Each structure stands twice: as structure tokens, then as C-alpha cells.
Structure 1
Amino acid sequence: MQTSFGIDFAPILPLWLIAALGAVCLLALLPAFLRRARGVWWRGLAFALLLGALSQPRLVEQTRETRPDIALLLVDRTDSTRSAEGHAAAIEAARRQLESRIGRLRDVELRVVDVPEGGNQGTRAFAALEAALSEIPAARLAGVLLLSDGQVHDIPPSGSWSPGEGVPLHLLMPGRAGEVDRRIRLIEAPGFGIVGRSVELRLIVEDLGVPRAEGQARLTLRRDGQAPITESVPIGREHRISLPIERAGPSVIDLVAETRPGEVSDVNNRVVVALNGVRDRLRVLLVSGEPHAGERTWRRLLKADPGVDLVHFTILRPPEKDDLTPLNELALIAFPVRELFQVKLRDFDLIVFDRFANRGILPPSYMRNIAEYVRAGGALLASVGPEFVGGTSLAATPLGSVLPARPLSPQQAILDQAYRPRISPAGSRHPVTEGLPGANTESTEASWGRWYRTIRTDARAGTTIMEGPDASPLLVLDRVGQGRVALMLSDHLWLWSRGHDGGGPQQELLRRTAHWLMREPELEEEDLTARIEAGRLFIGRRSLDSGPPPEVTITAPDNSTRREPLRADGGGRASAQVAAEAPGLWQVSDGRRQAFAAAMPANPPEFADLRSDPARLQPLVQATGGAARFLGDGQTVPEIRSVAAGRDAQGAGWLGLRKRDDHTVTGIAALPLLPAWLMLPLLLGVAILAWRSEAR
């Protein structure tokens, strides 16, 4: 509490009228002054008392409650300060010292606000500052102290922002002047590429804080955990890297530049790029043999996909059959056997044989070419019927070496019997058949329509995902070399498309089968995936193994490891999620497979520059009368003083907070200096004295 005294006026008449009366009084006295008449001073005193009585002067006593000034301390907690060596510890040490020193100042209150991580928006220090200022009365703000490395990304123009009139903004930075930092700056990094082609990365390795940086730096590239590739790149100049897209699905490219001696951090020496391989228009060869009711099933499926280029041939008769039918009535064009199965065979992504019987159309050398095409990474789908039995069967050709099943004897192979296709135990976990609408479960039978024929075989390899009567194989999938094969052992799939007996998911089954054959990542039956979203690592595993899922090993960017159990989700899937806030490349392994995830975008603002540098904030600091100082390890915090308005807010070894002297008036007492009981006799006495003086 404080008490103050002052004089004020409570005029009876308006001020302009009192001023007019004063002018009249001066005019009346002017002749007397010019003549030097007697009593002029007494007359002037009488006029003054009269004007004073009309003004009513008072002695005012005020009781005030003083309110402390407020100092605002912003503490940068973003990734750039945590990543640079020693910066976070220096900021924390300086914060403790500032709290202690400001706490010893009289009538100064300290408020501390943390500047949180802003993600891709960088350090939003002024957003946090404006939010804090909205809760502080402007008349009490004494100053703003910002503990930061100076890498702020929402700085307003210096002429359009101020914390308040005369209020200084001080910048206190960890580290020392002249820090250096090496970084990789991506100029262009495509997010996807076409399988079979190459994409180009454009980047620059830069040394910040080094004037005219020159020389070479070693750059190491690692793709999905493969063997690293190292090359020398020029510092400060653009460098291009060509990357072939070998498969569909995501790939993680890890780029690391060698550490520069003395740099503040090597965090931004690494860049992780996520690259997604996509297929261009798929080229599919469909060869139909003996005409049957479901011949158009495959054609309709493949033609309905706008991403598929379909080449379709139907072979109606063997070449040795001669019934004198003119050639122009047999086909629109000649069957280009050599061009398809020798010259351009590897241009196709998928080959489909639909009820094809080997009747001399394709010589053994061409069948051998197809088998080699599969082993080298091609895809083959065979949908068979009765033609799969006997000497004309595909299994009796060199192509039979890549088929996962062989037919039984002709007397046993063809089974004409009504049945409902069932999902096998392995199929309930396989992505091609898992979750198909209407499928059987452990407690219910399938609700889809019946088929009436199946080809009984001896399954030699692969995985049976659909079963016919007596659990006989119906749909078998197999991996051969680097390629894949699917064998459908019935020609009655078309019944589902016609809605017979309730129909079934024919289109979805065929779509999944074709996409599995062409290695679509989401249909991998043995797969391990990892992705990072919102600071968490999401792990997914799919397997045909029916046992409990194993633990996975997680390797963080700093090469520390941990074990994490997976939670079974059903259908062969298991998952887990853990915190993953450290930037860089995360690796997950289940003992057989590895997955990689990138924990940072290509060019995050927080890691663009990890040096402590006042350049960005210097114009604002100077405009407010503040100062920018380096703190070293945080132990050299300047002295904090309270300074009056009009004085400098900084000096050698100290920083100032403005004294605001804000207060609240709690009581007022007024004492009239010329009360009426005094004024009347005083005025009469002065008038009498003036009259007597003039009368002499």
C-alpha cells in the first residue's frame, strides 16, 4: 500500500467561463498597472482570490495498491534445441538461473511459457508468445526473455510487431558464436516411381557457418537395409542420384553424410526418403483353349480394370485339324506364337491359361520359355478343367515343372459332384481368401453357391487356400524361383458370376488372385510392415503360421534396440505400436523379415539449421531495445535489472526489465484549500485593504 498527495480543482463554473472572467480581470487591472495606481496589488489579489474560489482547489490524498511488473520467459523446447549437443542442457541451466535472479527482484513476477514442437511448421515461438501476452495486462509487462537457438519460423515483420511501448525483447542463446553445422538439403525427392524405371533424387550437402565451403563429403546410401553404397559428393553443389524402382510398394532410402569435425549435431546429416513403387499399366496375356460357359469370365475381369492392357487369344482348334474352312473365317489375325512366347514373353506381367490343352499349338521349347519366365519373376495363372487330365495336359509339358499339382489318373481325376467351395485353414489366414464374403468359418459353412466339377490332383508344392470335396485342393498358390503360380482346379467359377445358387465373390477372388500373382504389397501372405504417424511406430505382421506371433526387435535411429511383443488380431495378422519420436530410420525385425520406417519428413524446418544464430530475430530485438546474448553452457546468464522508462534496457553484463509502476487506487480523500467560510472574510478583508490603499 502507498499514499500520495496532490492538488486538483473542482471548478464551480465551466473552465472557459473562468478563463473569460480572468481575462476581464486583467483588462480591469491593466490601466491601474500602467498608471501605477495605489492599491493595484491588493485589487489583483482580490481578483485572484475570487477566481480561486470559483476554481475550488483541493488537496487530494490517494491510497494505492501497487501491482508487480510481469516478466515473460519463453523456453524453446523444440527438436532443434534438443538435437544440438548441449543446447537443451544449456537452456535448462539458464532457465533455472533466470528464475532465481528474477525472483530476487522487488515487485517483479515471472511467468514461464514453453514453446512446444510445431511439427512441419517449425518453431512457433511467436504464436506461444501471443497466447501468453493475451493473459497479461499490457500495463504490467516489463519485458520478454526468449531462451532459444534463434531458429524461429513464425517471426513477424519488425515494423509491425512489438510486445509493448518501451518493453524489450531479449534473446538468450545456448552455445557460442561461430558454430558450424553440416546438413543434407533435398531439392527434389519424388514420392513414387514406376516399377521398372528409375527416379532421380536431387540434393545438396551444405556446411553452414563456413564461408566459401569447398571440398568433398562421403555420402552413404542404404535402401531397405541392403548393403550400403558410398560415394563422394561436392560440398555446396547439387548432386543427383538415380534410383531404379525394382518392385511395387514402399521403400525407405537412408542417406547419410559423414560428420564434419566440430559441428553442433549430425542429426541433419541424415535424410530418410519414403519412395513408393507403383506399376504402370499391367500387360496381361490371356490364352483361352476349349470354349466353355465361363470363357468370358477372365476377359470381363481384366477388361474392367483400366490399368490393364489385355492381349487375348482363343484357340478353337489344333493346327492338324483340316475341314477346308477358309482361313479368313477362322481368325482375324494369325496366332503370333513366336512373337508372344519367345520375343516379347517377358514384356507381360501376367500370363493366364484358361482351359488350355496342349495340342501342338505351343512346342515344348515355348512351354520351357514360359517356365523360365516364371522362375525369373513372372506370374502364371492356370484355370483348368477336364483338359488338364491326359496326354494334352499342361502338366505333361515342360510347364508342368512349375505347376504346384499334378492330376491323378484319368479314372480318378475328374470328379463331377455338387459341392460348396471351402476356405482351407491356411486360406483363412491368406490375404487372397481371408475375409471373403460368405466364406466358411470354424462354426459355419460357406453360404455361397455350389460348383459341380473339380479336378483331383496330387498337390506337390504351394499352399492350398480353397478346398473342394473331401478337402481336395481347389485353388493352390505357389512361389517358384522369383515368380508365382496360381492353379484353379475347376472350370465352374463362372457359376458365381451368374448368381447360381446364390452366387459368390467371384470378382473379388479373381482380383485378389491376380494382384497376389503380380506382387501387390497388401496381398503378401508373409509380410512385416512398419510406418510412423504422429510420433508412433505402427508395426503390422501377417503370416500363415498358426502359432502365437513372435516378438519383434525394434532398432531406433541411435542403434539402440528393444523387444516388443505382437498382439494377434486374427486372420494371420498381428500388430503393435510404440512411441517413435526420435528422427531418422527405424528398423523392425521378426527374425525372418525386416521393415523400415522414416520418422521425419524430407525437409523438416526444425532440422534445416541446428546452430545458435541471432540473425533471424536481430531486427526485432533491436527494434524493441533488447539484446541478443550467447550463454555458452548456460552458466553465464547476464544480470537482470529493473530500469525506469527512458533508460537503456541493456548494458555490459546485464539486461533490463522496464519498471511499469502499475497500481490500483483503493481510497481518495479531498481537503478544500479555499473553503467558503474562509473565502468570504478573506475576500472582504483584501477588498477593504485595497479601498483604504487607494483612498490615501
Structure 2
Amino acid sequence: MTTSIVFDPLLPWWLIAVLSGMTLSGIALALWRGLSGWALRALAAMVILAALTDPVFQQEDREPLTDIVLLVEDESASQKLADRAAMTVSAADALAARIAARDNTEVRRITVPDGADNAGTQAMTALSEALAEEPRARIAGTILLSDGRVHDLENAPDLPAPLHLLHTGRKGDWDRRLRIDNAPAFAILGEEITMTLRIDDEGAAPRGTVNVPLDISVDGEPAQRFSVPLGQTIELPVSLPHGGRNVLQFTTPNAEGELTDRNNTALVQINGVRDRLRVLLVSGEPHPGGRTWRNLLKSDSSVDLVHFTILRPPEKQDGVPVRELSLIAFPTRELFLEKIDDFDLIIFDRYKRRGILPSIYLDNVRQYVEKGGAVLIAAGPDFASADSLYRTPISSIMPARPTARVLEESYRPKVTDLGQRHPVTAGLQTEDEGGWGRWLRQIELEQESGQMVMTGADDRPLLVLDRVGEGRVALLASDHAWLWSRGYEGGGPQLELLRRLAHWMMKEPELEEEALWAEATGQQMRIIRRSLSPDVGSVTVTTPSGEEVEVELTEESPGQFEALYDGPEIGLYRLASGDQSAVIGLGPAAPVEFEQTIASADALMPLIDQTGGGVMALADGLPRIRAVRAGRPASGRGWIGITPRGAYETRSVTQLPLLPVWLVLALVAALTIGGWLREGRR
């Protein structure tokens, strides 16, 4: 029970103050004049003023509320280093027991896991959420068990009681960290990019180390070792080996005694792109299809096109002197002997033997393909004649031979069953399209090797693809693809077909018929396996720790199999399926939890000083807990303080007026009459 006197004035306090002043002035005047009865009248006036304040005797039935201490336990990744996790759990259990044993005190335990999307330790966010659920008037203190590496200080709440940090670090802790800066997402093949690399020792690191080893691996291949200076920023020139995604892994070996090797490795994933695609187009004669090829290749700004058109063949003798012709002699020797290896693709469009390109030049083309080049042949009627390109040294790399028959009939090109799975033609033809526009001519071929992905009249080979040595060859047995671009009978996907065909021949990674790769989203990867085979089996995933997991694939579309896999840890994963392999990095290249692993209170000190709290190391033992008054220092040698709040809950209130109306009237009347009688006697 708690008693008190409260006032509920009938008039504003300022008006009561004015009336009190007037009363005092009247009393002073009465004293100065020597009037009798002034004391009784003064008492009557004071009773009236007291009644205007309406004093009430109040009695409250209060129930005390316990003080709350917030115990925040950091369970982020950096807290799992060394013996920090066990130290934190042991200390939290002991502190919770000590706090609970205190009178009128209870504890709230809050755990802080890793933040989502590499956000780090979100201790202040967790603390703000806990404060929102508890009455601030009952918070007696906050104890944070952590390494002090908090990554959301901007969300720190306004704390009503002391904040203490009991950190999990030890005096001898040290760590070696590798950092990569300036790593681009894309790079041009054949051009060097420069990344910045730095290896630092932090904490109580051993002295005397000048150089440390650095291992560099590309796409999971055996690493090459270098020696780099410690504590210095070095520039690292890198040239990508192939197009598509290149996974570069930089590692410095684990040193004895360091906290962790999780920050000794950095993964950098860079997409290699071609700067310019160099294409040589050789047109045997002007025809509508020649413009189609030219428009296709010139529409891509990344293509450098050299177009060689034979406008005046040797057999055309009309008597016009050569000096009067407005034609430029084409540098055939330079192109086909000296600079042929500079081209990514050579296209022969309705070309036939005319003596312009000697056999030695065409034999050089054959060698160019075997060494990794690409040749596309768009056959016209001359391909079936005695002057056919097949009757040159190039014949040894062609996947089909002409029968000397030209089919002058209409037909609709179709994609074969194999073509439905091949990336060049997959998805081009759908059932609801009702067929493409017809072509009107086809060269009859007999397939000898390669893959037939399209057929024409009577299911004869129309488009045959093949690999020769390190290079690729495509043979299109018609020169009427241009009819689609003109919209003949509805046309067809001519531009898309020719674009895919050209890029497949130039070995673009996204058009490989046998391929394995993965696309990462956070800690989840989408595994994609492309194959011409109807069954590819499972994919073996090797985690960074060396564990192997078999992942079953599902055919999502003809020739493309997919699966989703959640990686259990951050790092480099290896994928294998048959003779195909790939690597991918999951998670950030440098997790924020391992950027700084040495325990430190520097970031939290402004907040700790503001609340009067303290910092202690758990390695020195658990501190004692004392009660301190608000505003006083709340930490000292071997102890930390909490502030008792004295909060309570009012269960009932009883009020009794001290000056009821009848008593005021009686007192005022009696005193007024007494004063009048006193003056009358005088």
C-alpha cells in the first residue's frame, strides 16, 4: 500500500496564486492598521484557498514488477571460430543463472544468427526488436556476448539502461586475410585486366614474415603458386582463357595458429566476351541471298565483316579493258595465306571453282579448320556441278557430298528429332506455327559424317553440322534461305537460324550441344546440362569441403536437363556429368563475417560510453553483477552494473477528499463569525 496527497484544483493554478497574493496583501494591511480579528479572517481565507486546490488523500495498491536484463548472444559465423561458440554458450548460461537469482530480476535471452544476403551480424536490429516487445521502464541493462564485429550500427536503438560488451577474443588471436579489389564482371578475351590483391596479417600475428605463397587456379584446374609480399597492395594482370564464365580462385595456404582460413580464399567470376568477331564472307556471284548474309552480319555491331564478291569471273570476257573497270583487286593472297587465322568464321556463299582461289589457298582453309577455325558453306546449284567446291582440298572436311542432282521443287524445311535437341535449331519449330514458308531449291547430299539437324524435300539432308579436328563445319544444302527474310508464304526464323549457326561455329559457350554449367542465386544453384543424348544421368556435385552429392536432373525441354541445388556452404563447387565438368562459386567472394575476425569493441564504444557500460573479455572470467543508480558509472574492475527500475503495476486506487464541502463551509463560517465577534468586542 502506498499513500499520497494529490491535488485537483478547481481553478487554474495561476488564478489561485493571484488570489493567494491578494490574501497576503489584505493580511499585511490588517497588521499595519492594527485591526482586531485579522487572524481569524486570514484563517478563513486560507481555508477557502485550500479548498480551491481540492486536496485528496490517495491510497494505491501496487504490485512491484521485475527488472528485465537483455542477454544478447551472437551466433554469427565469426562466433564459430576457435572456441568462441562454446565460450559464448557457457557464459550465457552462467550469466542467466546469476541474473535470475537476483531479487525482482529476470533475463531475456536473444540470439543473433547470420544476416540474410551476406548482411553480417545484425545485433542492433535484434536488440531493437526485443526492446519493442518489452516496457522500456523495466529494462535494467543489456549484456552483449559477441566478438564486437557488428554490421548494423545504424540501427542501434536508444537504450534506457547500460550496455555491456563481453567479447570472446583472446590476446593471442591473429588472422591472415586475402582481399581482391577491382574485379570486373565482364572482360574482353585477349585483353589484360588488372585486379588489386592484398594479403594482411591482423591481430597478434607472428613477426618476421615478408612473403607468403599465393595459389591461383582457373576453373578448378591445378593451381599455380607465386610468392607475394605481405601487407602490400599488388596489381595482378589477368587474361581470360576462354569465353563465358571464368572462375578464378586465389588462395594463400592456412598458416599455423591463425583463427580461420575462410578468408584465405577469394573467388572471382568473370564473363569473357569477344571484342570483335571477324568474319570473311566469300560470295561466288551476286544473288538475293548474298544481301541476306551481309545484312545479318552487319546488324551485329560486334562483327567485323570482310565481304569478297566475285563480280567479274574469268569466263566473262566482254572485251572491256581491265584498266576501264571500276573494280578493286581483292587481296586474296593476304587473306587466305597470311591473315586467315585472324578470322573467326569463313562463309562460302554459292562459291564455285573459277581459278580465283588456287588450290593452295583452299588447302590453307582446310588446315585453318583443323586448327580450330570455322567454315560455313551455303550451297547453290554450282555445288552439284563439276566446278563444285567439293572438288577441292576442302572436300576432306565436308560432312556430306553432293550427288550432282539439283532438286528444283518446293518443300518446307523441317527440324529433325536430333535438331530438336541441338542448340542451333532447338525451339525454332513449334507445333502451333503450322509450318514455315517453302524453299524452292535444294542440292541433294549424301551424309557422310556430322549431325543432320534439318531436312528438306523428301527428308533429304538440308543442314548438316560437323566437328573437324579443333574446328567446325556447317553445310546448308540450299541458297533459298533468303525467301524467309522476304516473308514468302509467311517466311520463317531465318535471321535467328543464321545467327545461331554463325555463333555455334564461332564456339559461343551458350550454343554448345554438350555442355554443363550452373547459375547461382545466393546459396542456391540451377544446374543445367545440355546434351543430344536422351539420358544424361545425374550430376556429381563436390562441395568446398570435399563431400560428393549426386543430383538427379529433369528434362525441362528437348536436350536441356535442369536441377536446383542448395549449397550448404560458401566456396567453390565442382560439377561433373560424364565427360562434362564445370565449377561455380556460391556465396560472396569475401563474406562480410570473415572480413575482420579479430574481436574488437571499437565500433560499439560510442554506444557503450553513452550508456555508461563497459567492455570485458570473457577469457578473463565472468564479471560480477551489481546494482547501480541511474546516471552512475556501471562498470569497474571485475564487475558490471544494472540499474534497478522500480517499476510497478497499480491494482487499485482509493481517494478520500481532505476538505469536503460541508467542512469548508463550517470552518469558513465559524472563522468569519469569530472574527466579527472579535472586532465587535473591541
Taking structure 2 as the reference length, the TM-score comes to 0.89
Quote the Cα distance in structure 1 between the aligned partners of 2:492 and 2:8: 99
Equivalent residue number for residue 24 of structure 2: 23
1:407 partner letter: P
Matched, 1:576 2:571: no
Q: Which of 617, 632, 636 lines up with 1:651 in the alignment?
A: 636
Q: Kindly tell me: are residues 391 and 225 of structure 1, through their superposed partners in 2, closer, same or farther at Cα, counting changes over 3 Å? A: farther
Q: Kindly tell me: are residues 180 and 24 of structure 1, through their superposed partners in 2, closer, same or farther at Cα, counting changes over 3 Å? A: same
Q: Kindly tell me: are residues 437 and 458 of structure 1, through their superposed partners in 2, closer, same or farther at Cα, counting changes over 3 Å? A: closer
Quote the Cα distance in structure 1 between the aligned partners of 2:369 and 2:44: 124
1:378 and 1:484 in contact (8 A); partners too: yes
Quote the Cα distance in structure 1 between the aligned partners of 2:661 and 2:125: 61
Identical-residue share of aligned pairs (%): 43
Taking structure 1 as the reference length, the TM-score comes to 0.87
2:251 and 2:266 in contact (8 A); partners too: yes
Matched, 1:491 2:488: no
Quote the Cα distance in structure 1 between the aligned partners of 2:636 and 2:672: 60
2:150 and 2:603 in contact (8 A); partners too: yes
Q: Secondary structure at the match of 1:60?
A: strand
Q: CA deviation at 1:90?
A: 3.6
Q: Secondary structure at the match of 1:27?
A: helix
Matched, 1:613 2:600: yes
Matched, 1:134 2:122: no
1:222 and 1:254 in contact (8 A); partners too: yes
Equivalent residue number for residue 596 of structure 1: 583
Matched, 1:414 2:412: no
Q: Secondary structure at the match of 2:158?
A: coil
Q: CA deviation at 1:197?
A: 1.9
Equivalent residue number for residue 357 of structure 1: 352
| Equivalences for residues 2-21 of structure 1 within 5 A | 3-9=1-7, 15-17=16-18, 19-20=20-21
2:571 partner letter: G
Equivalent residue number for residue 567 of structure 1: 554
Moved more, 243-252 or 44-53: 44-53
Q: CA deviation at 1:622?
A: 1.7
- Residue by residue, what CA displacement relative to the aligned partner does 1:95-150 show, whole Å, maximum 9, x if unpaired? 44444444444243525253541425433333333343333333232222333322
Q: Kindly tell me: are residues 503 and 678 of structure 1, through their superposed partners in 2, closer, same or farther at Cα, counting changes over 3 Å? A: closer
Quote the Cα distance in structure 2 between the aligned partners of 1:91 and 1:610: 16
Q: CA deviation at 1:175?
A: 3.3
Matched, 1:204 2:198: yes
Q: CA deviation at 1:324?
A: 2.6
Q: CA deviation at 1:153?
A: 2.4
Q: CA deviation at 1:500?
A: 2.3
Q: Which of 376, 401, 404 lines up with 2:371 in the alignment?
A: 376
1:551 and 1:563 in contact (8 A); partners too: yes
Equivalent residue number for residue 435 of structure 1: 427
1:670 partner letter: Q
Q: Secondary structure at the match of 2:419?
A: coil
Q: Kindly tell me: are residues 11 and 433 of structure 1, through their superposed partners in 2, closer, same or farther at Cα, counting changes over 3 Å? A: closer
1:177 and 1:612 in contact (8 A); partners too: no
1:663 partner letter: Y
Q: Kindly tell me: are residues 236 and 40 of structure 1, through their superposed partners in 2, closer, same or farther at Cα, counting changes over 3 Å? A: same
1:163 and 1:169 in contact (8 A); partners too: no
Q: Kindly tell me: are residues 316 and 339 of structure 1, through their superposed partners in 2, closer, same or farther at Cα, counting changes over 3 Å? A: same
Equivalent residue number for residue 449 of structure 1: 437
Equivalent residue number for residue 64 of structure 1: 62
Q: CA deviation at 1:89?
A: 4.1
Matched, 1:662 2:647: yes
Equivalent residue number for residue 145 of structure 1: 143
Quote the Cα distance in structure 1 between the aligned partners of 2:241 and 2:52: 100
Q: CA deviation at 1:406?
A: 2.1
Quote the Cα distance in structure 2 between the aligned partners of 1:382 and 1:297: 15
Equivalent residue number for residue 227 of structure 1: 222
Q: CA deviation at 1:382?
A: 0.8
2:654 partner letter: A
| Equivalences for residues 238-249 of structure 1 within 5 A | 238-249=233-244
Quote the Cα distance in structure 1 between the aligned partners of 2:363 and 2:85: 66
Bigger relative contact order, structure 1 or 2 (CA pairs below 8 A, ≥6 apart): 1
| Equivalences for residues 470-485 of structure 1 within 5 A | 470-485=458-473
| Equivalences for residues 530-549 of structure 1 within 5 A | 530-546=518-534, 548-549=535-536
Quote the Cα distance in structure 2 between the aligned partners of 1:207 and 1:383: 63
1:91 partner letter: T
Q: CA deviation at 1:611?
A: 2.2
CA-atom RMSD, angstroms? 3.4
Q: CA deviation at 1:309?
A: 1.6
Q: CA deviation at 1:607?
A: 2.5
Q: CA deviation at 1:523?
A: 1.0
Q: CA deviation at 1:22?
A: 6.3
Equivalent residue number for residue 585 of structure 1: 572
Q: Kindly tell me: are residues 323 and 38 of structure 1, through their superposed partners in 2, closer, same or farther at Cα, counting changes over 3 Å? A: closer
Q: Secondary structure at the match of 1:370?
A: helix
- Residue by residue, what CA displacement relative to the aligned partner does 1:659-681 show, whole Å, maximum 9, x if unpaired? 22223433222345566777857
Q: Kindly tell me: are residues 112 and 339 of structure 1, through their superposed partners in 2, closer, same or farther at Cα, counting changes over 3 Å? A: same
Matched, 1:91 2:88: yes
Q: CA deviation at 1:416?
A: 3.2
Q: Secondary structure at the match of 1:267?
A: coil
- Residue by residue, what CA displacement relative to the aligned partner does 1:458-479 show, whole Å, maximum 9, x if unpaired? 3222211112234332111112
Moved more, 351-360 or 465-474: 465-474
Moved more, 465-474 or 505-514: 465-474
1:224 and 1:252 in contact (8 A); partners too: yes
Q: Secondary structure at the match of 1:309?
A: strand
Moved more, 568-577 or 190-199: 190-199
Q: Kindly tell me: are residues 405 and 53 of structure 1, through their superposed partners in 2, closer, same or farther at Cα, counting changes over 3 Å? A: closer
Q: Secondary structure at the match of 1:426?
A: helix
- Residue by residue, what CA displacement relative to the aligned partner does 1:515-545 show, whole Å, maximum 9, x if unpaired? 1111222111111011220321210000001
Quote the Cα distance in structure 1 between the aligned partners of 2:312 and 2:660: 133
* Unaligned residue ranges in structure 1 (runs of 5+): none
Quote the Cα distance in structure 2 between the aligned partners of 1:23 and 1:581: 85
2:16 and 2:52 in contact (8 A); partners too: no
Q: Secondary structure at the match of 2:270?
A: strand
Moved more, 13-22 or 650-659: 13-22
Q: Secondary structure at the match of 1:372?
A: helix
- Residue by residue, what CA displacement relative to the aligned partner does 1:273-320 show, whole Å, maximum 9, x if unpaired? 011111112221100013444232211211222221211111144446
Q: Secondary structure at the match of 1:342?
A: helix
Moved more, 516-525 or 114-123: 114-123
Quote the Cα distance in structure 2 between the aligned partners of 1:72 and 1:44: 58
* Unaligned residue ranges in structure 2 (runs of 5+): none
Q: Secondary structure at the match of 1:284?
A: strand
Moved more, 481-490 or 98-107: 98-107
1:532 and 1:580 in contact (8 A); partners too: no
1:140 partner letter: R
2:112 and 2:121 in contact (8 A); partners too: no
Q: CA deviation at 1:399?
A: 1.9
Q: Kindly tell me: are residues 263 and 471 of structure 1, through their superposed partners in 2, closer, same or farther at Cα, counting changes over 3 Å? A: same
Q: CA deviation at 1:252?
A: 0.6
Equivalent pairs counted in the alignment come to 674
| Equivalences for residues 187-198 of structure 1 within 5 A | 187-198=181-192
- Residue by residue, what CA displacement relative to the aligned partner does 1:19-57 show, whole Å, maximum 9, x if unpaired? 42663477369779xx9x999999999997787677665
Equivalent residue number for residue 119 of structure 1: 117
Matched, 1:553 2:540: yes
Equivalent residue number for residue 299 of structure 1: 294
